[in-house]
Amino acid sequence: MITINVTTNLSALSRCKSMLEHPAELVRTAAETLAVELRRHFAVRESEGNSMGWPSKHFWNREGKERTSVTEVTDTHGTVTVASPAVAHKLAGGTIRPGPGKKALAIPLTAAAYKAGSPRTGVIPGMFIVKRKGAVGRAFLAVTVGKGKSAHIEPMYLLVPSVTQRADPRTLPAPAALESAVNAAVDAKVARELRR
């Protein structure tokens, strides 16, 4: 005959029972883990730099990482919000049109124009409009480079009535990776409670 004795830590089981009866603590762990994973993903995207090789405007840090937070935790659910319309647009894609009172979008064509941002008066000295014949609704903002016979026109911005951007499938991490990280964090929290 073999006898096996099992000893149970009743206080640990009591803590686990309490967590299950009031699971907001576990929900908070899940939500905070999700927020950390999203911020980590945005930091990786930031490290990739600008796709054109131009100076970074730190989009993923500014619009993703810094705007990600846990916004609600209850016994039944947690909410993590990325409070950025720009990130939402990256995720879904869509058409961008000029704002109120504007006729065109200015698409930068050079690193200098990209760094300057909006083509406000005086940001890039000497800019003027060049309209292309036969290209309805197409025009450029340009500058003259050089002097005399070596002078030439350098387009800085393309003026367009709208731009349609494709959805970026890498805007957020893969759902399976997020689920795995959240499950691991919750399992680890329960295991810590059992060891206390």
Q: Are residues 40 and 74 in the same domain?
A: yes
Q: Are residues 146 and 188 in the same domain?
A: no
Local structure of 159: helix, strand or coil: strand
Average pLDDT, the chain: 86
For 30-40, how does the pLDDT look when each residue is reduced to its tens digit (9 = 90+)? 999 999 999 99
Q: How confident is the model at residue 123 (pLDDT cuts 50, 70, 90)?
A: confident
Q: Are residues 16 and 89 in the same domain?
A: yes
For 59-88, how does the pLDDT look when each residue is reduced to its tens digit (9 = 90+)? 999 999 999 999 999 988 899 999 999 999
- Token digits for 45? 């995207």
How many domains, the chain? 2
Domain that holds residue 41: 10-95+177-195
pTM for the structure as a whole? 0.80
Average pLDDT for 135-139:
66
Listed in sequence order, the residues at least 6 apart from 125 whose beta carbon sits closer than 8 Å to its beta carbon are: 143
